[in-house]
Chain A
Amino acid sequence: MNPAAQTPEPAPAPAAPAISDAERAELRRQGILLTSIEELYNWGRSNSVWPLQFGLACCAIEMIAASMARFDIARFGSEVFRPSPRQADLLIVSGTVTKKMAPQVVRLWNQMPEPKYCIAMGACAISGGPFKQGYNVLKGIDRYIPVDLYLPGCPPRPEALLHGLMELQAKIRAQPLTGPAAPAHLRPGADGGECVIPDFGPHDLEPPHDPARWQPPRLIRTE
């Protein structure tokens, strides 16, 4: 191809004039707020994350302590812990998920409407924790449901839970409203993603993990 014969590329459209922060501040003083819908929508969502009132074990006590007067999760927007999954945005899996309890956890997750987030709080929810040698212990809730934030600790302090909540809020604020990374309720054609609910088998749950969500780790080093 003769580069000389190439038609010149059309000049790029002039960039929209960027509004500096000083101009933005001046406009605000005059009572005019300039923002994008994405920023506003995400600001509203991230500052009013309502967790589901769902505690499994010891970490639940630290979660309750985080909601009490000393640590006060309410000032982060989680004013109420909703008892019903239909009204909650956040599932804090706090404590060991046993195989007997796993179907109920997945069922609750499926009942929560989008946009929903999951925090795996504590070592047991992340990977089975100190009880990972258990015949009844599920080695991590991410085998069945997608986890947005892993919060290590045994139990993590209430401040750690608040830090985790702040990280989740940052993640929500950074979420675009269009494109493949948008929340599922804004993506046309998203199937809703019902997670597979395991059944009780004679020796183990069936399936033992959801292959679409979790693959067993590869063995890389053996010594």
Chain B
Amino acid sequence: MTAMEAIEQLHARLSARFPDAAPTVVLNPGPAAQHSLLVPATQARAIAEFLRDDPELQLDTCSNVTGIDWPEREVTETVRRTVTEPPAADAPPGTAPAAKVVEEKVRRVVPGHLEVVYHLYSVARGHGPVILRLRTGDRGEKVALPSLTPVWRACEFQEREVFDLFGVVFTGHPDLRRLLMWDEFRNHPMRKDYVEPDDYEWEPTPHDRILAQARRHYPVPPTGSGEPAPR
């Protein structure tokens, strides 16, 4: 069975079992062909329990939990619209309005979100991976997702890490606190828009970011002050 057939079969079974919260198949382009299922957050816990307890699947372990940050991006698309023009005032009555196809470039902002990817395997049956994706509403307020730690204990530390580094709040997690950074830390460092604090990184021949930072550290002395200006 190819990867494509396997994911279609799984999708069919889950859609039959959870008709009101069916997952969608996310195809993975590229040679790896590891396709995944996008699962709506409301039914994620129930779907996870089904995947774990179903006698045919028996996905009894979660191997990997990853957070991914998809910031909002601007997309420029070319849209073709049909424009109908009313007939000219001096045209004979009964003339049909002229239709023209107009191409225009439309910019739209694709909203950002955070994504959590679960890789599930079966130790009992030796198959896998089955990949689940959960997406948050946005990157600001709506960052809550259900925790799958009550289903697979393996998610405990990894979900804490996704909370620490990305900011996804897992509801139902037994002990949600920061894992790697200290508790007083603010920000979520793995986000794409995180700005690192300037702590005087040094290079003997600086360029780009470090050069720009270094120039900000020391103002250029005024001419005639006797101090050599940085060349």
Q: Which A residues are within 8 Å of any B CB, using their own CB? A: 99-100, 127-128, 132-133, 135-136, 139, 200-204, 208-209, 216-223
Contacts and interface: CB of A to CB of B under 8 A. Distances in A.
A132 B210 CA distance: 11
Contact of B231 (A132, A209, A223): A223
Nearest to A223: B231
A139 B202 contact: yes
Given A202-B186, A203-B186, A222-B215, A100 B181 contact: yes
Given A139-B199, A201-B184, A222 B231 contact: yes
Contact of B215 (A127, A209, A219): A219
A15 to B, nearest CB: 46
A128 B201 contact: yes
B218 A218 contact: yes
A99 B184 CA distance: 12
Given A100-B181, A218-B218, A204 B202 contact: no
Interface string B203-231: 00110000100110110000000000011
Given A200-B182, A202-B186, A135 B202 contact: no
A105 to B, nearest CB: 15
Contact of B218 (A135, A208, A219): A219
Interface in B128-173: none
Majority SS at the chain A contact face: loop
B231 A221 contact: yes
Given A201-B184, A204-B197, A135 B189 contact: yes
27 contacts: A99-B182, A133-B196, A133-B201, A136-B180, A136-B181, A136-B189, A139-B199, A139-B200, A139-B201, A200-B182, A200-B183, A201-B184, A202-B186, A202-B187, A203-B185, A203-B187, A203-B197, A204-B199, A208-B199, A216-B200, A217-B200, A217-B202, A218-B218, A219-B206, A219-B214, A219-B218, A220-B231
Nearest to B220: A219
Contacts of B187: 202-203
Contacts of B218: 218-219
Nearest to A220: B230
Contacts of B230: 219-222
Contacts of A204: 197, 199
Contacts of B231: 220-223
Nearest to A215: B200
Nearest to B180: A136
A209 B211 CA distance: 20
Counting chain A CB atoms within 10 Å of each CB, the highest count among B182, B183, B186 belongs to B182
